[in-house]
Structure 1
Amino acid sequence: MVAASAPAQTAWLKKYDVLTDEIALDFDHGFSMAEHLVEEGLLSLDSLPDLQLIDSIFDEMTRDESSDRWTIAALIDDAGWGQARELAQQVLARERADGMPPPDICVIR
């Protein structure tokens, strides 16, 4: 979802009635497996630096005391979201996984 356009991200958030930070949290879960995926040959070593940079961007956004970075409006105009989106698109293209539909999730409340 990090690589999706802002309108697609917004639609996904509304569909599942989750907050914007869910995109970053889902990325964090997947990123925790990145090195293992590289070892298993399921992820290119070339993608790891971009994924690490995305992780750093989200960490910096989390440390920012402004909650504005975690709004739906921020998906459109926040520089951090734009950088993360661009890097994620590059990773998906490199891995030949671009054009995939947004993931379905199950939200337990």
Structure 2
Amino acid sequence: MPRFLVTYHGSNMPHDAESMAKARDAFMHWAGKTGSALVDPGAPIGASRTISSKGTKDGLADGPFNGWSVIEADDLNAAAKLLSDHPFIGRGGELQMNEPAAV
């Protein structure tokens, strides 16, 4: 079954303990409903460094990137259905899913 890399973009990550707990609980509820299709829950992004032809800088590349997960689904449509009620979307974020291309 194809695997999809899901990247999390654009939502402000919660920083206070109560908001972090609510976000974690919402994710765990979604993960429980998703079951074995959630191959790797991934993680939020911590410290970052960007490397390019211009050199190296601390921080993220252009555009917010907050975390990642890996899911399994029959195709892009099935993957989109699995992600349709993801709690990150409810916090104003976007999820991008990508099926790795054969090289």
> Structure 1 length as normaliser, TM-score?
0.31
The structure that is strand-richer by fraction is 2
- Greater Rg by CA: 2
Greater relative contact order (Cα < 8 A, sep 6+)? 2
The structure that is helix-richer by fraction is 1
